[in-house]
Amino acid sequence: MRCLTLLAAFLGAASAAPSVSIRATNGWTVARPGTIKDVVVTKENTLNGTSQARETVITSAKGAGLDSRAIGGSLPLEFVNNFDGGSVNAYVVGLDSDNRVVFVRGDGSLVYPSSGGSQVPVPIGANVAIPLPGKGQTFRMTLPIVLTSGRIYFSEGTLTFSVVATPIGEGIVQPAPTNLQDPSAGTNWGFVELTYTTDKSLWANISYVDFVGMILSMALSVSDGSGTQITRGLGRGSVDAICNGLSSQASSDGWPWNRMCVANAQGKPLRVLSPNDYAVIDSGAFGSYWSGYVDEVWNRYSSRDLTINTQTGAGNVACRVSGGTMNCGGDNRGYGKPSATDIWGCNGGPFLRQGGDNDVHIAVIPRLCAAFVRSTLLLDGGDVQPSLSSDNYYTADPTNHYSRLVHDNEIDGRGYAFPYDDVNPDGHGDSSGLVHSGAPKTLTVYVGAPPP
Ligand SMILES: *[C@@H]1O[C@H](CO)[C@@H](O)[C@H](O)[C@H]1NC(C)=O
Ligand SMILES: *[C@@H]1O[C@H](CO)[C@@H](O)[C@H](O)[C@H]1NC(C)=O
């Protein structure tokens, strides 16, 4: 009995080990890639389709072939290899018009993977990688079907995708940045997201809300004369630059910013996790980081108004702290003090939306959270939110130094570094990494460095 208890305790410790991060001497977190047994199925890393397939189905490159349920499309894609390292693969994955998970291969053939009913992830029994030609060259293909919740992944070397049976069909399990033992954890990878609808409209975006990985940029040319849209995102070498910036920040304020940098076994930085994603690995790391600031904000706005410009028909609303709660005019409920994780994710504690929240509440959440993330609430003029220009963001401590460093390394200021990066004073430009057109001609993705 005692032996069993000890064994159970030992096994418990061993299986808990993946969450304990191993650190390099400079404090960066080291990825320890495992095998398919180390894949963890979560809401965040799965794409679940509706129908179950007894076995993997591969359609021919010419048209829909075996597959008559997928609505056709025709979107030229170009992948430009600007990457300095080893060989690069692309992977195109998403849901077809019948909501089935599908990989599109470079020749236009479609792979519908099957788990064979397995409740644990199994390897995808077909090669779904699209090898890119060498640096300086461009790969061209056509996306032959409409695709929603789509992603185009790029990686130095290969990525591991798996498939699992879900209650409603097949689920693709994708690389997970927050699992340090994911089989792809030691690989440099990233993705752009896209949706290509039945009316042939395209939305594509790059985001740094979760992490920064392989450097990717996009250009969308269009056929309606409205001009090519470009999202350059981060410049070449930004992962190193952000990791070095986080290390300097950790040395100066003693908070573990450097741990958000994930390196491979050789110590080379692969990606940077946002504080919100880092909290999945180590939820207590920034426990009291914001407490003093939150207290000061609560003090300040107990004796004067914080004005939130809702940028809606409700206009400006006045907010005041009383009895520990901030209340805003016309709002259906108040706001308690946020914790560090509430501020990183903008969707917990006082920033959690509930059914029945009114328009004022729904407008205050993003504006109040953005003001915390950017630390503008105690600055001169910070009593009206949003109102200060972006050169005031991240100028006071504490702040979100990940977001600061991401924006410092962005070439054209585009690409969200936290969920409500679209909050800006009236009349300020779009900082999302989105390209969109109802008349898309070609979507070009630049891998490793943006176009000039
Ligand atoms: C997909 O299905 C799996 C297995 O049932 C589940 O754990 C996961 O949360 C689902 N993903 C989403 C995004 O709902
Ligand atoms: C980015 O694209 C994905 C897929 O189209 C979409 O689900 C997501 O909402 C988009 N995000 C933004 C900020 O546009």
Domains observed in the chain: 30-237+434-447 (2.60.110.10), 290-397 (3.30.920.50)
- Residue 43 Cα to ligand 1 midpoint, Å, equals 5
Question: Measured between alpha carbons, how far is 379 from 389 in angstroms, rounded to an integer?
Answer: 12
At 60, the pLDDT band (50, 70, 90 cuts) reads: confident
* Mode of pairing for the β-strands spanning 147-156 and 22-23: unpaired
The residue-averaged pLDDT of 376-383 equals 98
Q: Say yes or no: CB of residue 194 within 6 Å of ligand 2.
A: yes
Torsion of Cα atoms, 302 then 342 then 363 then 195, to 10°: 170
Nearest ligand (C-alpha, residue 172): 1
104-155 pLDDT, tens digit per residue, is 999 999 999 999 999 999 999 899 999 999 999 999 999 999 999 999 999 9
Residues 78-95 have a mean pLDDT of 98
Backbone φ and ψ for 349, nearest 5 degrees, come out as: 55, -125
In sequence order, the β-bridge partners of residue 321 are 326
**Ligand 2 atom at shortest distance from the alpha carbon of 151:** 4
Structure tokens at 246: 């986080």
pLDDT bin (cut points 50, 70, 90) of residue 20 is low
Residue 68's pLDDT is 65
Q: Under DSSP, is residue 60 helix (H, G, I), strand (E, B) or coil?
A: coil
Residue 225 CB partners (closer than 8 Å, separation 6+): none
Residue pair 98/69 in contact (Cβ under 8 Å)? The answer is yes
Query: Which tokens belong to 176?
Result: 């997970």
Q: Report the alpha-carbon distance of residue 87 to residue 82 in Å, rounded.
A: 11
Non-local CB neighbours of 66 within 8 Å, separated by 6+ positions: 57, 58, 59, 60
Residue nearest to atom 10 of ligand 1 (CA): 43
Atom of ligand 1 nearest to the CA of 166: 5
Distance (Å, whole) CA 38 – CA 211: 20
For residue 428, what pLDDT band results from cuts at 50, 70 and 90? confident
Instruction: Give dist(CA 126, CA 58) in Å, integer.
Output: 8
**Order of strands, sheet of 216-222, starting from the edge strand that comes earlier in the sequence:** 138-145, 72-81, 440-447, 216-222, 229-231
Specify the amino acid at residue 68.
S
> Each residue of 159-190: pLDDT tens digit?
999 999 999 999 999 999 999 999 999 999 99
- pLDDT recorded at residue 61: 64
Q: How confident is the model at residue 5 (pLDDT cuts 50, 70, 90)?
A: very low
Q: Which ligand neighbours the alpha carbon of 203 most closely?
A: 2
Whether a cis peptide bond, with omega within 30° of 0, leads into 398 is yes
Q: Report the pLDDT value the prediction gives residue 67, as an integer from 0 to 100.
A: 59
Instruction: Please work out whether the CB of residue 41 comes within 6 Å of at least one atom of ligand 1.
Output: yes
Per-residue model confidence (pLDDT) at position 19: 46
pLDDT at 173: 98
- Which residues share a beta bridge with 40? none
